């Protein structure tokens, strides 16, 4: 963010310098300069130095089935968000499909220092576009030695469309024998708008 801000500032200074060279003395507010910047808010990194989260969806991680067990689906404790659209209310219908847990060595367990993935798809089965949702993955047992990547906002999912989401799971060097419970769902604000898919994965020190 700081780098992009500095690049935009340099771009504005360059444009002002060019305008002065041709005798253009019209003033521009900072907002106008930012609003006309083609890269504003796009997240595009011209230096290609960031993590663009692009994965090979044809790899064995996505085409194989390495889940330690079939996930269970349950109803959330709090669900059903009614939204107003054109004078009537409706409940968004999002479904989690093709959920899988993939560990690095594909033995169906989480081991010390191992990097794993929880991959799933979110499909909009409803008649209208759903806006501003968050696919979430939570480790429900409170295990302090397992870390899950932060949730990301999805701007919208149109009817009949879906997205594929990958959460990274990392175990530190002090993981103990036991089990971890991962709850996968979709939220809008603070409310669940999908069923909850659960994985119970053994942990090994």
Query: Are 166 and 200 in the same domain?
Result: yes
Q: Residue 192: which pLDDT band, with cuts at 50, 70 and 90?
A: confident
Q: Model's pTM, two decimal places?
A: 0.64
Does residue 52 have a pLDDT over 80? no
Query: Are 90 and 156 in the same domain?
Result: yes
Short-list 144, 149, 143, CA closest to 118? 149
Buried b (16+ CB within 10 A) or exposed e, 55-68: eeeeeebbeeebbb
Q: Residue 197: which pLDDT band, with cuts at 50, 70 and 90?
A: very high
Query: Are 47 and 90 in the same domain?
Result: no
Query: Are 160 and 135 in the same domain?
Result: yes
Query: Are 166 and 78 in the same domain?
Result: yes
Q: Which residue has the higher pLDDT, 158 or 25?
A: 158
Does residue 112 have a pLDDT over 90? yes
Longest dimension (CA), the chain: 73
Query: Are 28 and 121 in the same domain?
Result: no
Can you read off the two tokens belonging to residue 13? 């200074």
Does residue 138 have a pLDDT over 80? yes
Query: Are 88 and 45 in the same domain?
Result: no
Expressed as residue numbers, the domain containing 200 is 60-204
Q: What are phi and psi of 45, to 5 degrees?
A: -115, 105
Q: Give the Cα separation of 98 and 123 in Å (integer).
A: 10
Query: Are 133 and 115 in the same domain?
Result: yes
The per-residue pLDDT for 180 is 96
- Note whether 136 and 168 are within 8 A (CB): no
Q: What is the share, in percent, of the chain residues with pLDDT greater than 90?
A: 47
Query: Are 68 and 14 in the same domain?
Result: no
pLDDT digits (tens, 9 = 90+) for 66-95: 555 668 877 765 544 444 333 434 455 899
Q: Report the phi/psi class of residue 61: left, alpha or beta, with left for phi > 0 and alpha for psi in -120 to 50.
A: alpha
The per-residue pLDDT for 141 is 94
Instruction: Give me the CATH number covering residue 141.
Output: 2.60.40.10
The per-residue pLDDT for 181 is 95
> What is the domain count for the chain?
2
Query: Are 189 and 147 in the same domain?
Result: yes
Query: Are 73 and 39 in the same domain?
Result: no
Query: Are 65 and 154 in the same domain?
Result: yes
pLDDT digits (tens, 9 = 90+) for 148-190: 999 889 999 999 999 999 999 999 999 999 999 999 999 998 8
- Note whether 132 and 155 are within 8 A (CB): yes
Short-list 182, 178, 177, CA closest to 147? 182
């Amino acid at each position: 963010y700081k780098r992009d801000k500095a690049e935009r500032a340099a771009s504005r200074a360059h444009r002002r310098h060019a305008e002065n060279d041709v005798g253009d003395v019209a003033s521009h507010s900072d907002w106008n300069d930012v609003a006309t910047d083609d890269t504003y808010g796009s997240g595009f990194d011209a230096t290609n130095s960031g993590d663009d989260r692009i994965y090979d969806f044809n790899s064995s991680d996505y085409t194989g089935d390495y889940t330690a067990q079939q996930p269970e689906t349950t109803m959330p404790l709090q669900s059903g968000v009614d939204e107003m659209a054109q004078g009537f209310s409706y409940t968004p219908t999002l479904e989690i499909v093709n959920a899988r847990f993939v560990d690095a060595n594909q033995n169906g367990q989480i081991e010390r220092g191992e990097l794993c993935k929880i991959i799933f798809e979110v499909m909009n089965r409803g008649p209208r576009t759903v806006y501003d949702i968050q696919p979430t993955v939570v480790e429900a047992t409170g295990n302090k030695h397992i870390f899950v990547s932060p949730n990301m906002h999805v701007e919208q999912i149109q009817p009949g469309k879906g997205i594929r989401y990958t959460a990274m799971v990392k175990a530190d060097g002090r993981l103990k024998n036991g089990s971890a419970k991962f709850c996968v769902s979709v939220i809008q604000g603070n409310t669940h708008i999908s069923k909850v898919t659960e994985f119970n994965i053994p942990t090994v020190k």
